[in-house]
């Protein structure tokens, strides 16, 4: 028998999980979609206590306008989010939730083992599109956002 075939056979005996499918379950996708929807509701309502628990302590964030540099770690991003919440609450003209009406469009969820990438668009009017990416990681059976990237783009008059 070829020596490489022997090594491969021994490897399969010692590490049988290595052939296990890396396709996450459909329940993971459903869970991530539900969490993303809950995240949007908490953000629309500016419900700080519900909103903040979606993030991992070491998450990083790129905000579309107010903070030109990456925010890293809970101490940086919470201070920034609290300022964003105050600004939205003040500018909304509303005295109770919801303070915003973010409606994700074209949501896509990509899963790979314990990581989920959620992307969607936000309609910001006839000439502006918000692009959002939430990177989630599952640990201890809980999904948390480890990175949020937000950007806005101005559209040409005939852009889709």
Which pLDDT tens digit goes with each residue over 51-60?
999 999 999 9
pLDDT at residue 104, rounded to an integer: 97
In a domain, 15, yes or no: no
Residue 51 lies in a domain: yes
| Within a domain: 159 | no
Q: Is the residue at 118 inside a domain?
A: yes
Q: Is residue 9 part of a domain?
A: no
Angstrom distances, CA of residue 36 to CA of 40, 48, 80, 92, 111 = 6, 16, 20, 23, 14
Structural domain boundaries, residue 84: 23-93+102-153
Start-to-end CA distance of the chain, whole Å, equals 60
Low-confidence ranges of the chain (pLDDT < 70): 1-24, 157-160
pLDDT at position 24: 59
Reported pTM: 0.81
Q: How many domains does the chain have?
A: 1
Tens of pLDDT, residues 133-145: 999 999 988 999 9
Model pLDDT, residue 160: 55
Residue 13 is predicted with a pLDDT of 43
Per DSSP, the three-state class of 111 is: strand
Residue 12 belongs to some domain of the structure: no
Name which of 115, 130, 127, 136 is nearest 38 in CA terms: 136
pLDDT attached to residue 23: 54
């Amino acid at each position: 028998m070829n020596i490489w075939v022997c090594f491969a056979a021994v490897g399969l005996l010692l590490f049988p999980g290595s052939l296990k499918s890396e396709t996450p379950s459909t329940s993971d996708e459903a869970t991530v979609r539900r969490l993303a929807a809950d995240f949007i509701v908490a953000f629309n309502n500016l419900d700080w206590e519900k909103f903040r628990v979606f993030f991992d302590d070491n998450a990083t964030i790129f905000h579309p306008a107010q903070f030109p540099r990456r925010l890293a770690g809970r101490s940086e991003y919470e201070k920034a989010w609290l300022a964003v919440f105050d600004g939205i609450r003040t500018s909304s003209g509303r005295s109770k939730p919801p303070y915003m009406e973010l409606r994700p469009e074209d949501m896509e969820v990509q899963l790979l083992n314990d990581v989920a990438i959620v992307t969607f668009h936000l309609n910001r009017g006839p000439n502006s599109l918000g692009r959002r990416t939430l990177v989630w990681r599952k640990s201890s059976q809980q999904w948390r956002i480890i990175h949020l990237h937000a950007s806005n783009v101005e559209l040409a008059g005939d852009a889709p």
